[in-house]
Amino acid sequence: MKNVHIVPHMHWDREWYFSTEESRILLVNNMEEILEMLESNPEYPHYVLDGQTAILEDYFAIKPENKDRVKKLVQEGRLIIGPWYTQTDEMVVGGESIVRNLLYGLKDCEEFGSPMMIGYLPDSFGQSSQMPQILNGFDIKYSIFWRGTSERHGTDKTEFYWETDEGSKVLVQLFPLGYAIGKYLPEDEEKLQERINKYFAVLDRGATTGNIILPNGHDQMPIQKNIFTIMEKLRKLYPDREFFLSRYENIFAELERNQELPTLTGEFLDGKYSRVHRSIYSTRMDIKAANTRIENKITNILEPLASLAYSLGFEYHHGLIEPIWKEIMKNHAHDSIGCCCSDKVHQEISNRFFLAEEKVDQLIHFYKRKIVDSMATETEQDRLCAFNLLPYEREDVMTASVISKLGSFKLVDENNAELEFEVLDQEIMDPGLIDRQIVHYGNYDPFIKYTIQLKDRIPAMGYKTYFVTESDTEVRSSESAVDQVETDFYKITVNPNGTLNIFDKKLNKRFSNILMLEDGGDDGDEYDFSPLPDEKLIYSDKAKADVNIKQNQFEAVITIRYSLTVPENLDDRKNLLANSSVDVQITVTVAHHKPIIKVAFDIDNHAKDHRLRALIPTGIASSFSVSDNQFGSITRHVIDEAMDIWEEEDWDERPDSIYPMLTYAGLSDKEYGVSLLTNSSREYEIVGEEYDTIAVTLFRSVGVLGKENMLRRPGRPSGIKLPTPDSQLLGRISLDFSLLIHSDSTLKANVARMAKEYLTPIHFYNKIPFNAMKLNNAEIKTPLSYSFLNEVQPGAVLSTLKKAEKEDRYVLRFYNATDEEISASFEARHAVEEAQLANLNEQPMKLLKVQNNTFGTRVRTNQVRTILF
Ligand SMILES: [Zn+2]
């Protein structure tokens, strides 16, 4: 007898081609029907709320009076909630974001009852290789998903173990036909049989036990009220099968008995049986870049800074930080961050990012101000404070603003040592902008806003203060115009077309034509890039660039401006017209003492239906690339062998090697490597005849949500055929990257650490006697310089430093992105009595040895570790 588990559920895309406002009305309607069915019908045992608590949050915002009804059903194990906060994407969303999605999702469940302990992501567009580790970090041992696998990964079965390199493991139940095969099951027996026959053939083939799942639900589908009638009919049609209403946990109980399940590793990004949309990573680059930037600000700046402040006696504002995470995690739902939505919904998403970023920026400002305002000084002298939020002392070239009425000033540290600095810019500032009370009392004397540059060593996970004092010598600048740049690491020249030639002095190697732009047609939709057949790509090789190079004692800045002529739209491109343009400004900034070359793109796009990429030739003919995913690295072939057979084998999408990254992508051989570090775009492809060039997508312009019969994706449209003019991305967009040339391989050089450093800039606070927003002085007195924590040896990449959600301890999370096991240990600059290894849910697991306030652990390749102290 075969068991058919019918699992009632609804897949809840909060927004997609419809807005959250629209779906919320349906939600209130559907929830009442679900609650009523469960309450009035003991034969209807379970209902799964899509594995996400945002549904509950949305519902209780409208119906808080129903909390007790929900609680009762959850505690009876009938309404099944959690574990996620939203149905997260796994490709362009960072590790901390996925961790918080479970952390806050599970936390939301607490007041109701036990959550579903299954990593349920039935619709996410591909599966990250690190998911088993993240799930295990929350004591979750099971996983359900649909998209991305094929027998190429090692089995044609739909049940298997999925392991990571560092040893985490989950038991997977695949949905080979998706989560919606049991949607709106018809009462008409012929139609029912016709549909079910097709499903059973596939499900039986993949099953390793006598149990299969028929998920009874669909996107925003209301509860199927006649399910008992349907089940009667199914029993009649298939007398050799047992049909019953069930929950997903029941299937895993059966699978656990099977000793012979295969074990798979790695990420699942195959578009053979399901669409994974390899290239969705670059849709609506404005939104994608905002996500990258804001994730980095929260984990790299805000949380460590709040922890510093907490260590000095200030409150850690969980109540302000959790809503920031929730704001961006609403956007991390697969359709939302995929940006395969209507223009209206993208406005809502952008607005959430706007709110999240404003909250982050203001809270960062508040914490810096609290610390600097409370310094134990004898004078009320103006001061400038530099914050380094990495656990090692760092020498850096830093740019800061100083606002003063002084016509000339010097910077003096607490030991009275004067620090040299450059003035990059000065502008007159109306005093009303600083505090309108100044003007109110009749003082109209302007302030001067100086942009200055300095170079110094800033303490590990701490800060250093400079006093701004009057000086007789005029503020100065050593800046001069030059023809080429020379730093400790590089000689850089600019070609007439705006590309760079970089000579690496240590490697004695020349890299030419760096940052050539490549423009091609995009006949795709919001889900997928799709090229025109036999298209001749346009390059910036003939561009005539305006180039300006300046260099001072600390760094060089190269400004490159040109206009790239391109066709206005797809038809014009087919007719080889050159009637539109993309205006490009590239600002390259190189400090003398560091190998990181910062590249900022400011683009004004006037054309439609195209994709613009920047090319970084490395001279390394490669068969694979290395980039990062959550808490580790991932190695991928530069070309998928299925490119030759995908049509023959009838794949759902062409397997181009267009891949996601989080903070870097690189090519290397044993001797050296070149990497792209990113604070914006998270999409790359390795191109060139020798596969020696990193192509980073700057943006894609498309005008429709879903299109049919695309070159890279034959068949039905994904989503719906809705025009989305905003996705043409006409207008301005800014994108930030860095380039890094290094010796050794990408992993040996620990490029992930360099990326983290690039993404954790030194922050400044300038205290002056005026501020429109008044604060009373705190009782706390803070030191003039401070260091909270120092790593004992370099190696691990810091993920974040925060305060634990539920106790008065710190959470320090870090990972090993190299290919060898490492030791990571940290010395706190205050008394540490106890340190414990914890899981990702911040629950202590094992006591660590603490000696001289120092504690640590071994970290395997691609392993993430959390220490509570
Ligand atoms: Zn979905």
Q: What is the pLDDT of residue 442?
A: 81
Phi and psi at residue 537, to the nearest 5°: -75, 150
Distance CA 415, CA 385 (A): 14
Comparing 285-299, 427-441, 442-456, 791-805, the range with the smallest average pLDDT is 427-441
Give me the pLDDT at residue 125, please.
98
What backbone torsions phi and psi does residue 322 show, to the nearest 5 degrees? -55, -45
Give the residue among 646, 652, 611, 662 at the shortest CA–CA distance from 267.
Answer: 662
Give dist(CA 401, CA 314) in Å, integer. Answer: 25
Instruction: Write out pLDDT tens, residues 640-686.
Output: 999 999 999 999 999 999 999 999 999 999 999 999 999 999 999 99
pLDDT-based confidence at residue 186 (cuts at 50, 70, 90): very high
Coil, strand, or helix at residue 117?
coil
Answer yes or no: are the C-beta atoms of 817 and 752 closer than 8 Å. Answer: yes
Distance 15 CA to ligand 1 centre (A): 9
Q: What totals of helices (H) and strands (E) does the chain contain, helices first?
A: 17, 47
- Going from the Cα of 333 to the center of ligand 1, the distance in angstroms, rounded, reads 8
Q: Check if the beta carbon of residue 633 is closer than 8 Å to that of residue 626.
A: yes
SS3 56: helix
Work out whether strand 169-174 and strand 142-145 pair parallel, antiparallel, or are unpaired: parallel
Catalytic residue among 123, 396, 523, 640: 123
Cβ atoms of 580 and 606 within 8 Å: the answer is yes
Confidence of residue 485 (pLDDT cuts 50, 70, 90): very high
Whether residue 791 contacts residue 865, with contact meaning beta carbons closer than 8 Å, is answered with no
Which amino acid is located at 453 in the chain?
Answer: Q
* Structure confidence at residue 776 (pLDDT): 87
Window from 196-200, 234-238, 487-491, 766-770 with minimum mean pLDDT = 766-770
Residues contacting 825, CB < 8 A, separation 6+: 791, 792, 793, 854, 855, 856, 857
Block residue for tokens 């209902």: 47
602 has catalytic annotation: no
How far is the centre of ligand 1, averaged over its atoms, from the C-alpha of 510 (Å)?
47
Distance CA 664, CA 462 (A): 26
| 805 Cα–ligand 1 center, Å | 30
Place of tokens 């020798």: 690
Question: How do the residues of the chain divide into helix, strand and coil, expressed in percent and rounded to 5?
Answer: 25, 35, 40
What's the confidence (pLDDT) of residue 259? 87
Measured in Å, how far apart are the chain's first and last C-alpha atoms? 54
Cβ neighbours for 679, distance < 8 A, ≥ 6 positions apart: 289, 292, 293, 296, 736, 737, 738, 758, 759
Tokens (6 digits) for 202: 């596939």
Q: Is the pLDDT of residue 380 over 90?
A: no
Query: Cα separations (Å) of 66 from 62, 85, 108?
Result: 9, 20, 16
- 290 C-alpha to ligand 1 centroid (Å): 22
Return the structure tokens found at 780.
């706390």
When computed from its CA atoms, the radius of gyration of the chain, rounded to whole angstroms, is 28
DSSP letter for each residue of 692-723 = -EEEEEEEE--SBS--SS-SSS-SSPSS---B
Q: How many angstroms does the Cα of residue 323 sit away from the middle of ligand 1?
A: 23
Looking at residue 148, the DSSP 8-state letter turns out to be: B
Distance CA 747, CA 754 (A): 11
Sequence-distant (≥ 6) Cβ neighbours of residue 468 within 8 angstroms: 381, 382, 383, 384, 402, 404, 406, 409, 410, 411, 766
For tokens 């990004």, the residue is 269
**pLDDT value of residue 774:** 85
- Asked if 611 and 701 touch (Cβ cutoff 8 Å), the reply is yes
* Helical (H) or strand (E) element with 685: strand 683-687
Q: What is the percent of the chain where pLDDT is above 70?
A: 100
Strands (E), 97-210: 118-121, 142-145, 159-163, 169-174
CA 754 to ligand 1 centroid distance, Å: 35
Cβ-based neighbours of 262, under 8 Å, separated by 6 or more: 154, 155, 157, 160, 161
pLDDT at 378: 77
Ligand 1 centroid–CA 729 distance in Å is 24
Asked whether 438 and 405 are in contact (CB, 8 A), the reply is no
Cα–ligand 1 centroid distance for 12 (angstroms)? 7
Q: Tell me: the pLDDT tens digits for 489-547?
A: 999 999 999 999 999 999 999 999 999 999 999 999 999 999 999 999 999 999 999 99
What is the mean predicted confidence (pLDDT) over 126-148? 98
pLDDT at 377 over 90: no
Distance CA 599, CA 612 (A): 16
Read off the pLDDT of residues 821-853 as tens digits, 9 standing for 90 and up: 999 999 999 999 999 999 999 999 999 999 999
Under 8 Å between Cβ of 282 and 271: no
pLDDT of residue 139: 98
Cα–Cα distance for residue pair 4/6, rounded to 1 Å? 6
- What pLDDT does residue 603 have? 98
Question: Is the bond preceding 83 in cis, omega lying within 30 degrees of 0?
Answer: yes
Q: pTM value?
A: 0.97
Average pLDDT (290-314) is: 98
Confidence of residue 690 (pLDDT cuts 50, 70, 90): very high
822 Cβ neighbours under 8 A, 6+ residues apart: 795, 796, 816, 858, 859
- DSSP SS3 for 397: strand
- Ligand 1 centre to CA of 334 (Å) is 7
| Short-list 771, 779, 745, 773, CA closest to 674 | 745
DSSP state of 679: S
pLDDT in tens, 227-277: 999 999 999 999 999 999 999 999 999 999 988 999 999 999 999 999 999
Reported for 640-643, long-range contacts at CB under 8 A and 24+ positions apart, including other chains, are 642/152, 642/270, 642/272
Identify the weakest region by mean pLDDT among 369-383, 698-712, 750-764: 369-383
CB count within 10 Å of CB 219 equals 17
In the reported structure, the alpha carbon of residue 713 is separated from the centroid of ligand 1 by a whole-number distance in angstroms of 19
Mean pLDDT of all residues belonging to the chain:
97
Sorted by sequence, the CB contacts under 8 Å of residue 569 that are 6+ apart come out as 580, 607, 608, 609
Tell me which DSSP letter residue 114 carries.
Answer: P
Q: How far is CA 205 from the centre of its chain?
A: 37
Distance 131 CA to ligand 1 centre (A): 18
11-67, pLDDT tens digit by residue? 999 999 999 999 999 999 999 999 999 999 999 999 999 999 999 999 999 999 999
pLDDT at 417: 96
